[in-house]
Amino acid sequence: MNHPMTPATRHFLILALAAILIIRLFSLGAYPLTDTTEARYGEIVRKMVELGDWVTLWFDYGVPFWGKPPLAFWLSAVSAKALGVSEFALRLPSFLLGLGMLGLVGGLARRRRGDDLALIAILVLASSGLFFVASGAVLTDTALAFSVTLAMVAFWRGVIDPHSEAVVWRYLLFAALGLGLLSKGPVALILSSAPIFAWAVLRGRLWPSLRALPWTSGLALMLLIALPWYLLAEQRTPGFLDYFLAGENFRRFTDPVWSGDRYGSVHTRPWGYIWLLWLLATAPWSIKLPFTAIRGWRQRRHSAVPPAPIATPGDSGWRIYLLCFALAPGLFFTFSGSVLWTYVLPGLPAFALLVADLGFAQRPMLELRQLAGIAVILPVLGALALPLFNAKLAADLSQRELLASAPPGVGIVYFPNRPFSAQFYSKGRARQAVDLDALRAALAGAPDSYLSTPANESLPSWITDRYRAVAHAGQRHEQVLWAPAQDRQTHLARW
């Protein structure tokens, strides 16, 4: 680096990093699981713990969930078994996986250019908008991103870096691919192999790289990790492999109007939309980098020192490798008709390394201090916004507040829609009635059950005469909780 850090600057950046991690850790249980993704996955984990079934994921009782492999759910279930089913326990594995990604990034950067680059790269990654959110959310994408990061670091350390314990890292590459198959399926193989292949071709090292890998034993290790669960899942609920491999991993992304989704809705977007999501996911650095680039360009115009090339004939193609790694998710999903911002998460570790290597690692100390200030913007704003979120928005996004007004253990019927968070916060007691006939049958079969409806839902007199509103929650989408009439005998006689 042109400007080695002073001890004071290093301590300043370490304090900024510690603040980000502490804020994220202590926020894990500070807000409810929100619909739809977090609450849906949280309820799948809760059922896994309740039923003791570690093979089949259950969308509802008797309805299997074929949409994702189990790794993230397993981790959250282990945490819930140890700490109890809670928001903190279910989110903790994502936080730990995030720490693992930071460790892999820091270790690779430290080996490349020392402690200063490692600290900057870790700070950039920890403060990137998507990473900060995903490292404390009930998602499968964090497990995928960890697996891809491990694979990419392992390839560099095992094949490219001549000074590492190559054999161990080469096997870690295949182990990471096995974990990727258990985290989100075949997409992990693509997001890992595509940037490696691109780098090898660009550097003219395709065949040497292929020959360096232990293909027979490595693939056996990968299959040993992943294949048993796939076979057991298909055996327990036939049809899983067709739905997951063909539907979730092909038709979802190639057919913009795919109607085969059993568990939600397809997020139809125009081609290239993933890059707008990339700008959001990498904020605040996607905002800062253009200004840094312009400033560097102006300085180079008046400097006799030529700019550092992206690669030189004698180097190992470090920056090309990072560029391929960082761009792989965006390029893969560019022509997809269904994308979410979490899809770019596997490329963020390489993005952080590039920012550190090309940008701030070459800047004077004043800008390193500015880096720390930029890094804590989103985490601090997020922490300050939590009370407002819980007071104004949480009740619209989660049923926790409403169900807190219901007696423990009581049955609840949701009409006409049942949010996923209702299942989680009722511990599986929330049922759904999609029409008035189903509602009448459900309440007749369990007259002590509570009822939940939207505030603007028109209800017949046979409900309003027998139930009274006991709680309201939500502002944009107000939900009402109804309790049976006080006189239970009269209530039963009328039925």
Q: Which residues pair with 432 in a beta bridge?
A: 414
Whether a cis peptide bond, with omega within 30° of 0, leads into 36 is yes
Q: What is the pLDDT of residues 439-478, one digit of tens each?
A: 999 998 888 899 999 998 889 988 888 899 999 998 888 9
| Residue range 298-322: mean pLDDT, rounded | 63
pLDDT of 162 above 80: no
pLDDT above 90 covers what percent of the chain? 64
- The mean pLDDT value for 336-354 works out to 91
Report the pLDDT value the prediction gives residue 446, as an integer from 0 to 100.
Answer: 87
* Residue that wins the pLDDT comparison between 355 and 267: 355
Compute the distance between CA of residue 464 and CA of residue 469 in angstroms, rounded to an integer: 9
Amino acid identity of 182? Answer: L
- The pLDDT of residue 59 is 93
pLDDT for res 1: 46
3-class state of residue 461 by DSSP: helix
Mean local confidence (pLDDT), 385-391:
90
Per-residue pLDDT at 369 exceeds 50: yes
* Contact assessment for residue 45 and residue 55, using Cβ atoms and an 8 Å cutoff: no
C-beta separation of 377 from 317 below 8 A = no
Q: Average per-residue pLDDT in the chain? A: 87
Rounded to the nearest angstrom, the gap between the alpha carbon of residue 277 and the centroid of all alpha carbons in its chain is: 14
**Residue 45 pLDDT exceeds 90:** yes
Identify whether the C-beta of residue 375 lies closer than 8 Å to the C-beta of residue 16.
yes
> What is the rounded distance in angstroms from the CA atom of residue 371 to the CA atom of residue 342?
24
Is the pLDDT higher at 336 or at 305? 336
pLDDT given at position 294? 59
What is the C-alpha separation between 127 and 376, in angstroms, rounded?
A: 7
pLDDT at 243 over 80: yes
> Measured between alpha carbons, how far is 24 from 347 in angstroms, rounded to an integer?
21
Closest by Cα among 116, 110, 98 to 21: 98
In whole angstroms, give the CA distance from residue 414 to residue 392.
Answer: 23
| Lowest pLDDT segment from 22-36, 83-97, 156-170, 427-441 | 156-170
pLDDT digit string (tens) for 251-280?
665 555 455 566 665 556 778 889 999 999
CA-to-CA distance for 55 and 71, rounded, in angstroms? 11
What are the structure tokens assigned to 151, written together?
């694979």
Strand pairing report for 450-454 and 412-414: parallel
pLDDT single digits (tens) 99-143: 999 999 999 999 888 888 999 999 999 999 999 999 999 999 999
pLDDT band at residue 282 using 50, 70 and 90 as cut-offs? very high
440, 448, 338, 426: which is closest to 42 by C-alpha? Answer: 426
Q: Where do the domains of the chain lie?
A: 7-386, 400-494
For the entire predicted model, the pTM comes to 0.91
Highest mean pLDDT out of 168-182, 289-303, 392-406: 168-182
Residues 6+ positions from 21 with CB-CB distance below 8 Å: 99, 126
Question: Which pLDDT score is estimated for 262?
Answer: 64
Residue 193 tokens read as 């192999």
Helices (H) and strands (E) counted in the chain, each on its own, are: 25, 7
For β-strands 430-432 and 412-414, DSSP reports them as parallel
Count of CA atoms in the C-beta half-sphere (13 A) of 33: 29
Is pLDDT at 71 greater than 90 in this prediction? yes
User: CB burial class (10 A; 0-12, 13-18, 19+) of residue 425?
Assistant: buried
Tokens representing 354 are 């590039």
Q: Domain 400-494 belongs to what topology?
A: D-Maltodextrin-Binding Protein; domain 2 (3.40.190)
